[in-house]
Structure formats: C-alpha cells, structure tokens
Amino acid sequence: MPAKIPATVVTGFLGAGKTTLIRHMLSNAEGKRIALIINEFGDLGVDGDILKGCGDETCSEDDIMELSNGCICCTVAEDFIPTLQKLLDRDQAPDHIVIETSGLALPQPLVRAFNWPEISTRVTVDGVVTVVDGKAVTEGRFAHDIAAVDAQRKLDENLDHETPLSELFEDQIACADMIVVNKSDLLSEDEITALTAKLRADSRDGVQVVKSTMGALPVDVLLGQGIGAESDMSARHEIHHHHHHDDDDDDHDDHHHDHDHDDFESFVVLRDEITDAKAFAEHLAEVIRDHDILRLKGFAAVQGKPMRLTLQAVGPRVDSYFDQPFGTGPRETKLVVIGQAGLDRAAIEAALRA
C-alpha cells in the first residue's frame, strides 16, 4: 500500500500573511505536486500565470484545478471529506496537501476529520502551522486590521461570534505545531526575541517559533517535503539554497543576513534497529523538545517487523505508521533532522541513537 500523503493545516487571521506564505511555497514547489484546499480562490490572489487560465468565473464551487507548477487547487466544497477523497482518487495523487483556514474556526475538528475511516489510511496530518502578524502582535493587537477580521467572522453563520478575538488567537497558538512570525523584517531584534519568548511560553512544549519575511520559508521547513526520501538527502548536510561553499566554515562573508534560508540546517542520523515502536516515538518527542528540533522525518526498522516504520514530526506532533516492506533494502533506521541554525548535532545524534 502506498505511503500516506501528509497534510499541513495553515491557519492564522486575515492579514497575517498565510496567502503570501502559500504563494511563496507554490512558486518554490520545484515540481512537487502540492494540493491546496482553500475556502475561496479569491483569497489566494494568485496571478494568471500561476492559475492556468482559470478565473473565478470559470471555476465552479467544487472544481479542482491544476496549477502550472504541478499544484492542484480546490475550494472547500460542501464538505471537506469528499473534497479530500476526490483529491486522493486522482490518477496522480498529490505529494502533499495544504489546507488553508481563516483562523476563525479552530483547526481541531479539521484535524480530527483525518481519523475518518475513508481517509485515515491514506492521509496523515503533518502539522498545524499558525501564521501570526509579528508587527501587530508586538503592538498588542492580534491582527493588523481587527475590523476586517471581525467583518470576515460576521459573514460566516457557522462561526461562534461570541468568543473575543483574543481568545481565538490564544487557541491558534495553543493548537499550533509550528508558529511562523511573519513580517519579522518590521521588528527589531529585541522585539523578535521578546515576541518569540512569549509565543513559546503560550504554546505547547516543543513548538518552534520561526520568523519569516514576506512569507519566505524554505519548503523543506514548511512541509518537510521529500525528507526521508532515499535520494540525495544523506549527502546533503544542509538545506542548500543559493550558492554554498561546502561546509567551509572559514567563509563567513557568504551568509546573506537578509535571507531566512540560511537560518536553517538539516542532517541525517543513521542507527540500528529499534525494539519498540511506541517507545521510540515517545523518545523522539522528548529529543525534539530538548533540542528545539523543527521537523524530524524518516523511517525505522523495528525488530521482528518486515514493514518499515515511517516517522514524521513537526514540533511536538509525532506521527508513525508501518508503510511498506523493506524488501531487499538494508534494514536501517534513517532520520532527517531539520532545525534553526545552531542545532547541537553531536548531542542530537547521541540522543537519537540512545
């Protein structure tokens, strides 16, 4: 049976920068088939060159369209599950599904919907990513334009209109697996440090807070795409973006301080078989918390099991399931670790092999 397709939920208030984040992701998808489930095509504000000849008029409510870069786009029709099934039943299933929500309804019911028997064997929740407007939050608001957020809420009869926005914001932070502080270029280093500390204090243990400017985050960080793939990952000790002098530590001039992408690193850890899948997943969660790991992905060989145990974690959420037999391949455990620059690689390797 094919591996489950990971799905990422992106939430946050209107104006936080979800659309910018998603557009950046789509334009850097590098041939990955990303399926996007959004409430309104209009929200995406994508230019004609990304949406192949598909204007709002021509797209019916439950249309699924192909975007020029291998992405698939669909609105949330009457119901989330049929939409998802339709996506999964396509000839070419997507590599990753990204679901954008308005941030006004809690993601929990959405995340629970993935347990539906029709789809639970085919999809897995990669993580909930909450995008916040760093400037607004630093200034003590939850959104740049609170009136606009409220207006959006009034338009939807399904939403609870009683809860103050401040509580909805707290909920977004509380259910996040990763928090992206957007518009970080508008803040001073001190403001960013203070805001990051506050958000980490208000979120669950192990949730990482990453900063972005104009929604530019490496796709590997946002989706962990292709991680654990046996391709060239083991040779790559870092997420390569732009030109890089291979591990040449003497050359510090090359670091572009204006570019987020140098703020992340990744490496591969190999280890022998493990004995207990459940205990190992719990151990991973602990290592992630202790070492501020953003994402961990890969697979493990479990003693006495012919199937490979696939593992993926975003912040404190660790998901594991047996996906396919090892076949003739070596029975090894191979994990890819991604985090913000400065990970204590030796300590993490030791902990993962413990």
Of 258, 229, 222, 224, nearest to 242 by C-alpha is: 258
Residue linked to tokens 């489930």: 37
Residue-wise DSSP of 106-131: -SHHHHHHTTSHHHHTTEEEEEEEEE
Query: What's the pLDDT tens digit per position in 23-37?
Result: 888 878 777 788 888
Q: How far apart are CA 189 and CA 192, in angstroms?
A: 5
For residues 195, 29, 285, 234, the Cα torsion angle rounded to the nearest 10 degrees is -120
pLDDT band at 101 (very low <50, low <70, confident <90, very high): confident
Reading the block at residue 197, the tokens are 């500390």
pLDDT of residue 242: 39
> Across residues 273-290, what is the average pLDDT?
93
> In this prediction, what percent of the chain has a pLDDT beyond 90?
30
Residue 147 vs residue 241, higher pLDDT: 147
Q: What is the dihedral of CA 184, 185, 191, 195, to 10 degrees?
A: 0
For residue 251, is pLDDT > 50? Answer: no
> Looking at residue 160, what DSSP letter applies?
-
Residues 22 and 223: beta-carbon distance below 8 Å? no
CA distance 349 to 354: 9
Across the range 147-172, mean pLDDT stands at 84
pLDDT (0 to 100) of residue 287: 94
The predicted pLDDT at position 117 comes to: 83
The 10s digit of each residue's pLDDT in 175-195 is 999 999 999 999 999 999 999
Q: Render pLDDT for 39-86 as a digit per residue (tens, 0 to 9).
A: 655 555 444 444 443 444 444 444 666 665 666 777 665 577 888 888
**pTM metric for this prediction:** 0.82
How confident is the model over 104-147, as pLDDT tens digits?
877 777 888 888 887 888 998 889 999 999 999 999 888 889 98
Q: Is the pLDDT of residue 254 over 80?
A: no
User: Mean pLDDT over all residues of the chain?
Assistant: 79
User: Where is average pLDDT lowest: 98-102, 138-142, 342-346?
Assistant: 98-102
